[in-house]
Amino acid sequence: MTKKLINNKCLYLAIAYVIFFTCGCKKIIQIDAPVTTITSDQVFSTNEQAASALAGIYFRMVNSNVLFLCSGATSVYCGMSSDELISYDQVASDGFVLFQKNNLSSLTGIVGDAFWTQSYSYIYGANAVIEGLQSSKSVSDSVKIRLTGEAKFIRAFCYFYLINLFGDVPLTLTVDFNKTALLPRTPVESVYKQIINDLIDAQNALPIDYSAQLGERVVPIKWAASALLARVYLYHNEWENSEVQASAVIEHTELFNLATLDEVFSKNSSEAIWQLQPNPSVAPFNITTEGNILIPIDSTYSPFAYFPDYFLNSFEPNDERKNKWIKSFNFDDGSGTTITYYYPFKYNQGPLEQIPGGNITQYYMVLRLAEQYLIRAEARAKQNKLTDAIEDLNFIRHRANLPGLSPTLAQEQVVSQVEHERKVELFVEWGHRWLDLKRTGKSDAVLGPIKGGDWNNTDVLYPIPLNEIRTDPNLTQNKGY
Amino acid sequence: MHKKTGSVASTFRLVSGISKLDSAKFPFVTPKLDKGMHFTFQVGRPRHGGTSSEPKQLIMSSVRWGRSLPRQLVLAMQASAVLLFAFSLQVSAATYSQTVSFTGKDVPLKNVFASVKKQTGFGFFYENGEEATLKGAGNVTLDLKNVALDLFLQVVLRNQPLEYSVEGTTVFVKRKEVRSSVTVELSDSARIPEIRGRVTNDKGEPLVNANVVVKRTGRGTVTDANGGFRLQNVSPEDIITITFIGYKPQSIPLRDRTSLTLVMVATTNDLDKVVVQAYGTTSQRLATGNIGKITSEDIARQPIMNPLQAIQGQVAGVVVTQTNGFASSPIKIEIRGRSTINPNFPSDPLYIIDGVPLTVLEVGGNSNYNDGSQGFIQNGLNSPANGQSPFFSMNPSDIESIEILKDADATAIYGSRGANGVILITTKKGKAGKTHFDLNVYDGVSQVPRFYEMLNTKQYLEVRREAFVNDNQTPDNYSAPDIFLWDTTRYTNWQKYLWGGTGKTTDLQSSLSGGDQRTNFRIGAGYRRQTDILTKSGANERSSVSLNLTHRSINQRLTLSFSAAYSYAVSNMISVPNAATLPPNAPAVFDRQGHLNYKEWTAQDQLDFPFFSLLKPYTSKTNFLNTSFTLSYEILKGLSFKTTVGYNNAMLTQTSLNPISSQDPRFKPKGSAAFGTNNLHNLIVEPLLEYNTFLGKGKLNAFIGGSRQSNTTNGEYVSGTGYTNDALLKSINNAKEKSVFDNYGEYKYAAIFSRINYNLFDKYIINLNARRDGSSRFGPGRQFGNFGSIAAAWIFSEEALFKNKIHFISFGKLRASYGSTGNDQIGDYQFLSQWTSSGYFPYNGILSLVPTKHTDSLLHWEVNRKTELALDLNFLKDRITFEISWYRNRCNNQLVSFPTPNFSGFSSVTSNSPADVENTGWEYILNSKIIETSKFKWISKFNIGINKNKLLAYPNLQQSPYADYFIIGKSLNIKKLLHYTGVTPQTGLYAFSDKNKDGNITIDLTGKNPDDRYFYDLSPKYSGGWSNNFTFNNWELNLLFFFKKQLGVNALSAITPPGGLNNAPIEALHRWQKPGDISSVAKFTTSPYTDESYPNFQQFSDGTYTDASFIRLQNLSLSYRLSDSFTRRLKIQACKIYIEGQNLFIISNYKGIDPEVQQFGGMPLSRVITGGISLNL
């Protein structure tokens, strides 16, 4: 073999070799789609999977062992911020006592974790559904419409809490982080506009009854959108619109009726407009997070939070709600003296009833009929429809075994009766009291005397978490923080 | 690894023909064809007068002929030479792999044979009786060590009128048959058309691709698979030089020889020893890149479980951190500083074991920069050690060497994965020669060397009472259970309670190795058991076996090698509560019934019960298999084809139990348990085509190769809750509720790569690397990246000036390299938007799907551009070696977990950062044989690496999430801190410098109105090691020091201020008590958050930072080798008795247990002392 031939052969070999490898390359490094996850395209390829994307949001809302936006944080922490609850632990440096003393700072982890981050993560989920369905070619139109409606409802719901807790907030309507990461805060008014639009869209898209969910009231239907819209209009001082929306819910007596006090928070209670269904496989299993945290284990354990006397005293005598929805126990702090503490008992399943896989008796109530009566009463009172307003209030009072109000009350008396009734009906529920004080401008007057030196008029808004401001240089902090 | 090349095809055919001859029948056939040859044998003289102790060069056969010969005759002779050649192969194949050593001057043959007989047990049979046969035989001068018997006899009998054959264990010696008398005479001036030769090592194994160069012309050739070579157009005056990595170079005057067999002797000079590099080997002399090396001896001196620990202090610029005190803990290795701004991905180098990458796909999501990779634990079920190092499964005794590749030249061939450096691990192989059986056993203890000195009960209660007074509070049951409810006379040293145990280590290693010229093997087996210093629990066990086999075909052109290592490791652990700060009078851990004493501890709920973890056992069992198979074939001379197929698999199972007995009975708890599995596969196929030749006057080594890798990592764990009885815990079947979590990652990788190395006169070397990589971790269109490097070295000591004039410099080299490497360590599928089913949990009967992350579809390669300049200087015949290197690594397009505001949906997105990070540094290595006599030797090795880290550029940093964290031009490890000015004598509170003079001390993390603008760089300034090796007769003492200059958190001041329900260091007693007191400790308080100066001091001030530099005696080993006479009597080859110690003492101003354990109360590093014996049979 001559040298040349050898060289040529080598060359050919090498070339063949290189070609073999480069050509194969693209295919070689192709990997299968992930196994434990699926891509957005896959999610929005079938009706069932698209529905799963929404189920994922509800699931996360309710199945948390800690207090998050929709698992009790709004009830408990806002309850402490207002005049409803006292934190037992008075020394925690980054905890509930900061809510009670209105001493939050931008470093208070709970504010960021429980409210801000959770809300926005549901909003992200909703945006992902809206965008995914928009670009999907294989999900049927009817499903697209319904699921988009649900997503918009969720988005509106979360923004409602965000603006009421934080004031101006960044309005994210897409999942594209390139478009959202540097957003400034959007004025509350614009966010309200978005909320209202979303809810109107949701009303048009959602089913009118629970038949699709086999009677379970755990996915929002049209009337949930109306109920939330009634609240939003109320907050926005659009009394007439608010009344219309509340009436639309109340009129559907084939669906909604006031339940007895014992039954209000039961699963699929007749009063429920929208509830969240816990999953008994995941902690806190068959009970609600709120019940798990607020109900003391036994007399050797200190309570998490308790009612101050000034709150307990605001109940009228014989108000059944004080008996049914509030419980007391005696705690011995080791010093030999026992003290009686009162704690919320709307959710009556506590840690000792917690059983993995156990039977669920109560769902987590988000929207209920009683609030609609109170919304309508307030909206009517503001429009000076006093008789109608008093009639609405009496529905609620009669259930609590209280006498009806005098039909001759003046407008501001009716309005203040509504405020009172909201306080004792909706206590430790979704921050109603905290938000009511704020929207009616009574925070300073009511909380100032109770909280003393801890209270500042800027405390009505929670601080924007520091980390958000550090990550987005366009974000500003609320006054007072 | 060197490549095999082959001889020309015609030779091959002949050899095959001959191989059919029955070698037993014709043990030493004298072919008829070789009429007319005149054999002159001679033993070459050493060039330097033969006074040195170096083994002499051996030139074995030489045949001379001339061009005046008839053509037929020449052909015939060629054929006969080939026959002879083949024939010697036959002999080799049939020979016993006995080795013989002999040194002597002018020794009669008789004595030589007697010695051979003694050494091998072989008998000698003389054809005509000893006397008659050996009549006329001359005396010989020999200096041979461990030479195969066959070769030995060839050498001894070359000059003699004798020939031999070996049958069984008998050597037959007879008078040489008288050969035909055609004698060819050549005129001296005649040119020799061709000489042939063969190069082997002292075991008779051919050396492939050895360089054979004619000094006069500078032209040369390389040897083929058989070690054979031919050179044309040489003259008798020529000197030829043979070089081969790892062997002493030889220069031989050709004189009138036309055929040579050269035996190369392994070098004793560090400069020429084999250094493993990417896809091949090199030596310190010829390397163009920066490669640090740890040998098996370095590893053997340290009684460690994880081989990566052996790197500490031995290689400049490499920082090894064991992330916690558990034996299986992850080990973080950082080479030349922090190159990423990203705290979320580990920055591990690429690990390669015998050519097979050990890649862990980070699918578990718990790994980060500070804690390193979680290793084999990737299912998300965490362990008390926070992961498990893959190398926990690797037996250090199986390792021949660990090479650390640092600069672009060394790493660029690994392209995309070389950015963080590469660590090559080469396992031990068998060597031709006598079969060895090695046994090594050691046993030892480990203990915590130091404890924090804490307050005793009396002092503690005094502190507490004073704190209440300071706070104007009256203590009561609720706020002070320690004063009112607990026994105030009780005292427990909690550190001793937990860490006071003595760990025991037993290590047993054995191996059998040996082989002949064609087949080598090594079988190793090891067992190690090591218990933790924890008094309550914890043990680690590892059993391992390994096998290495190499086989060459008869014609030597085909080589197969196979290596496999399998290990089974078990680790039992419990999480360790932070013991040091528990109140000294806290109640007993267990109550009278033997249950955990929740009741007393948690009275008032002021204190969490910390000891629940004592009853929560965790066990991991790991199977690890690493195999590698290499086939190489010499297609043509100089051209060989090689394919490596490697596979490794790790299977790890975990059991983590949470029994009812470990929980607070008040909650009426149920038991829970989690059972995890992790499964990692790596498969790699790498074909390689390599060409070695002389191009012009230089040697060219070039190869082109391809790589296909596929990895999968999957893990799952089942967690069960609702157990009603602890006895049922070990089975998931008994759980009331079960949930399953799983992870899966797949990674594919393809590359073509090439290296061209051109070496001119061993003086000028250039080296080019190129690689094109494709990774499945990037989206379509962005998968491929190109990487490469260029490097050059100038060995200026080879220049005439140095050779002739400057003798004290024995070696000098300047080298430079520049190149780029990449990184894709971001986990899989990051470019895809993904949803997970978050378990299989349904909501209202519908499966739930949850989006998992932001997606950046534009992800692409991270690039690290590395520049290096280095100077190597050896003085006084290499007694002092000095190496200085300067490097600059610039890393950009970094793959980071880029922070995004939570309101965008997630807190981060995996993306390319615009940051440009630079690491520059100097590394110095100074090795010296300070004293070198036959009895006493002192070798000292010193290395130091100085690294400077800098954020070079960041476009629009102020508008980025990093605005508050980084500063352009400063290190990535900076901290902005308040400047602590002391305790105010009037108030007893910590005071700080008011930088902006606004009257307030403000910490505004968003950067407005700040006082915390004092910058501190927490990167280590430098670190290094110093080892000293003393040998005196049979004694050997080795000391390894490791040192580091750094700032650190003062462990004592980093704990909660004294006064609360926690113990404090004894230093707390120097506190402020009344106005006017000058002290370093603020007044005691029970609630440190009431005044912000406490948290400011602790978290945000420089008062807690202190010099944490140290010098640690990392390792000491002392061994005694039993004298030869003694071992001979015991019929063993060698025996060594030794003691070894790890972490023996530390010199530091740092207050606390250990400047490397800055977290107060964390489990400290233990001190290990072992003693053992090693035997070679």
Nearest to B215 by CA among B692, B700, B761, B760: B761
Mean pLDDT throughout A414-432? Answer: 95
Please check the confidence at residue B964 and state whether its pLDDT lies above 90: no
Q: Which among B666, B739, B832 is the nearest to A298, CB-wise? A: B666
Q: Which residue of B has its CA nearest to A159?
A: B903
pLDDT at B41: 32
Q: CB atoms < 10 A from the CB of B881, how many?
A: 22
CB contact under 8 A, B706 and A356: no
Q: Which region among A157-171, A181-195, B749-763 has the lowest average model confidence (pLDDT)?
A: B749-763
Compute how many other C-beta atoms are within 10 angstroms of the C-beta atom of residue B996: 13
Which amino acid, residue A112? Answer: G
* Cα separation of the two ends of chain B: 28
State chain B's mean pLDDT as an integer: 80
- Is A334's CB within 8 Å of B603's CB? yes
Q: With contacts defined as CB-CB under 8 Å, which chain A residues touch B714? A: 35
Reported ipTM: the value is: 0.90
**Contact between chains at B774 and A14 (C-beta distance less than 8 A):** no
Tell whether the model's pLDDT for residue B800 goes beyond 50. yes
- Residue A14 confidence (pLDDT): 57
Name the minimum distance, in Å, from the CA of A442 to any CA of chain B: 30
pLDDT at B1077 over 60: yes
pLDDT tops 70 at residue B88: no
pLDDT tens, position by position, A322-341:
999 999 999 877 667 788 99
- Bridge partner residues of B694 (DSSP): B699
How confident is the model over B1027-1040, as a mean pLDDT? Answer: 92
Q: How far is CA A120 from CA A69, A128, A168, B98, in A?
A: 10, 12, 14, 77
Helix, strand, or coil here: B665? helix
* Contact list, A279 vs chain B (CB under 8 Å): 841-843
Q: Strand, helix or coil at B1173?
A: strand
| Most confident listed range (A117-121, B202-206, B1075-1079) | A117-121
The CA distances from residue B721 to A286, A355, B572, B673, in Å, are 14, 10, 22, 7
Stronger pLDDT, B781 or B1108, i.e. the higher one:
B1108
Is the pLDDT score of B2 beyond 50? no
Distance CA A138, CA B545 (A): 56
pTM of the model: 0.75
Best mutation site among A43, A49, A59, A111 for testing chain B: the one with the most B CBs within 10 Å? A59
According to the 3-state scheme, what is the secondary structure of B625-664?
Answer: EEEEEEEEEEEECCEEEEEEEEEEEEEEEEEEEECHHHCC
- Reply yes or no on whether the pLDDT at B62 is more than 80: no
Six token digits for residue B51: 């006074």
Mean pLDDT, residues B1072-1077: 84
pLDDT at B499: 83
| Structural element, H or E, at residue B680 | strand B671-695
Average pLDDT of the segment spanning B126-141: 76
Min Cα distance B1144 → chain A (Å) is 42
* pLDDT band, very low/low/confident/very high, at A162 (cuts 50, 70, 90): very high
Q: Where are the beta strands (DSSP E) in A345-461?
A: 364-368
- pLDDT at A35 exceeding the cut of 70: no
CA distances from B52 to A452, B44, B142, B1140 (A): 97, 15, 13, 35
- Topology annotation, domain A1-187+194-201+443-481: 1.25.40
| pLDDT tier at B14, thresholds 50, 70, 90 | very low
Q: Could you tell me the residue ranges of all domains in chain A?
A: 1-187+194-201+443-481, 289-362
pLDDT band at A312 (very low <50, low <70, confident <90, very high): very high
Q: Do A32 and B485 touch (CB under 8 A)?
A: no
Q: What is the per-residue pLDDT for B1166?
A: 85
Percent of chain B with pLDDT over 70: 88
Q: Give the per-residue pLDDT at B364.
A: 72
Is pLDDT above 50 for B935? yes
Task: Tell me how far apart the alpha carbons of residues A13 and B480 are, in angstroms, rounded to a whole number.
Answer: 84
Question: How many Å lie between the alpha carbon of A66 and the closest alpha carbon of chain B?
Answer: 17
Residues B766-777 have pLDDT tens digits of: 999 888 888 888
Q: Is the pLDDT of residue B93 over 50?
A: no
pLDDT reported for residue B1028: 93
Predicted confidence band of residue A23 (pLDDT cuts 50, 70, 90): low
* Residue-level pLDDT at A15: 60
Which chain B residues are Cβ-neighbours of A175 within 8 angstroms?
833, 851, 854, 905
Task: Please state whether A318 falls in left (phi above 0), alpha (psi between -120 and 50) or beta.
Answer: left
Q: Which of B18, B676, B136, B708 is nearest to B374 (CA)?
A: B676
Work out the minimum CA distance from B907 to partner chain A, whole angstroms: 9
CB distance B901–A170 less than 8 Å? yes
* C-alpha distances in Å from residue B40, one per residue of B78, B154, B1177: 17, 13, 40
- How do residues B1005-1014 score in pLDDT, each as one tens digit? 665 666 776 7
Per-residue pLDDT band for B402 (boundaries 50, 70, 90) equals very high
Q: Does A468 have pLDDT greater than 70?
A: yes
Q: Which of A86-100, A260-274, B284-298 has the lowest mean pLDDT?
A: A86-100
If DSSP states are collapsed to H, E and C, what string results for B459-472? Answer: HHHHHHHHHHHHCC
Query: Highest-confidence range of A66-70, A74-78, B734-738, by mean pLDDT?
Result: A74-78
- Asked whether the beta carbons of B1134 and B1122 are under 8 A apart, the reply is yes
pLDDT above 50 for A1? no
Is the pLDDT at B796 greater than 70? The verdict is: yes
Long-range contacts of residues B772-775, Cβ cutoff 8 Å, at least 24 apart = B772/A22, B772/B415, B773/B415, B773/B416, B773/B749, B773/B822, B773/B861, B774/A25, B774/A26, B774/A28, B774/A29, B774/B749, B774/B750, B775/A29, B775/B416, B775/B747, B775/B748, B775/B749, B775/B824, B775/B861
Judge: B905–A175 Cβ closer than 8 Å, yes or no. yes
pLDDT at A9: 62
Residue of chain A whose alpha carbon sits nearest to that of B910: A177
- Percent of chain B at pLDDT above 90? 17
DSSP secondary structure letters along A33-71:
PPSSEEEHHHHTTSHHHHHHHHHHHHHHHH--SS--III
Neighbours of B863 (CB within 10 A): 19
pLDDT in tens, A216-261: 999 999 999 999 999 999 999 999 999 999 999 999 999 999 999 9
Q: Which tokens sit at A229?
A: 């819209």
Tell me the shortest Cα–Cα distance from B216 to chain A, in angstroms: 24
- Sort A392 into a burial class: Cβ within 10 Å, 0-12 / 13-18 / 19+: buried
Interface test with B, best of A3, A21, A180 (most B CBs within 10 A): A21
pLDDT greater than 50 at residue B66: no
pLDDT higher than 50, residue B1: no
Range in A177-186, A428-437, B231-240, B668-677 with the lowest mean pLDDT: B231-240
Q: In the Cβ-directed half-sphere of A404, how many Cα atoms lie within 13 Å?
A: 11
Kindly indicate the confidence band of residue A134, based on its pLDDT and cuts at 50, 70 and 90: very high
User: Half-sphere exposure of B921 toward its Cβ, with a 13 Å CA cutoff?
Assistant: 29
Is B712:B681 a contact under the CB 8 Å cutoff? Answer: yes
d(CA B1021, CA B1108): 11
Give the C-alpha separation, B213 to A114, whole Å. Answer: 77
Q: Please tell me which residue, B175 or A144, carries the higher pLDDT value.
A: A144
The pLDDT assigned to B6 comes to 37
Lowest mean pLDDT among B308-322, B429-443, B733-747: B733-747
User: Averaged over B95-122, what is the pLDDT?
Assistant: 77
With contacts defined as CB-CB under 8 Å, which chain B residues touch A52?
Answer: 837, 846-849
- Is the confidence at residue B579, as pLDDT, over 90? no
How does DSSP assign B390-424, residue by residue?
A: GGGGS-GGGEEEEEEE-SHHHHGGGGGG-TT-EEE
Question: What's residue B1152's pLDDT?
Answer: 76
